[in-house]
Amino acid sequence: MKGQIDVGARAVTAGVAGATLDLKTAWRGQITSAGLGNKLAGSIRSQVFPKGKASPNAAGLVWSKAPKLISAHNTGPLIRSSDGFWLAIPLPAAGKGARGAKITPLQWERRTGKRLRFVFRKGNTALLVADDSRENKRRLAVNKGGKRRKDGILTGAATIPIFVLVPQVKLRKRLDLDAVARSQAAGLPARIRSAWKRQM
């Protein structure tokens, strides 16, 4: 009887370990197929418990080291500003923030020394624009140098949209990790039976 219990423990552990590994691999594959990159896919990790030994109560855990990002792409949430006002979406003329991250209006003003002006457009998205500016060779908004005319106008200067302001954004659902997890869970009994037969 003790021998049969040990066989069962090894079968359960083998089945759980196989399902856990396959789930991790499937999640990573779905993330890369969605175009979200290898780095985010690599955030998916797995572990079987108890570690290093067989158990009839074995359990597998698959998780992400970037749970908020994964959850956002898995559920397609509605994103609103934390202060209840606007979400500022940078346009190409805004450039990038530190280490390639999206830049914020405050960061842009500090970097350029220019103040952004709010432009409300009825029936359309609002804007934050930079006055007395020009686009450089990289299509980024920069200060327009030169002299002003007697009427105060800076020759050749333009008003360039830097940010689009929206009250909320609906993130597109790009993943369905729950369906893969349910599929692996449904196939677990068959995995355990197969592992049990191999040990008989």
pTM over cut 0.75 = no
* Pair 153, 12: CB distance under 8 Å: no
DSSP code for 176: -
**In whole angstroms, what is the distance from residue 80 CA to residue 158 CA?**
31
Q: What is the residue type of 200?
A: M
What Rg value do the Cα atoms of the chain yield, rounded? 27
3-state SS class at 46 = strand
Please report how the helices 2-33 and 188-199 are oriented relative to each other, as an axis angle in degrees rounded to 10: 130
| Residue 145 pLDDT | 65
**What is the pairing mode between strands 59-64 and 44-49?**
antiparallel
What are 112's two structure tokens? Answer: 């350029």
Q: What is the pLDDT along the chain (200 residues), one digit of tens a residue?
A: 888 889 999 999 999 999 999 999 999 999 999 999 999 999 999 999 999 999 999 999 999 999 999 999 999 888 877 666 788 999 999 998 877 778 999 999 998 888 999 999 888 889 999 998 888 888 888 877 656 665 555 566 788 999 999 888 888 899 999 999 999 999 999 999 999 988 77
| Residue 171 pLDDT | 82
Residues 6+ apart with CB under 8 A from 126: 86, 118, 119, 120, 164, 165, 166
| Residue 167 pLDDT | 84
| Residue 152 pLDDT | 58
**In whole angstroms, what is the distance from residue 92 CA to residue 89 CA?**
10
10 Å Cβ neighbour count for 159? 14
| Residue 148 pLDDT | 60
| Residue 176 pLDDT | 95
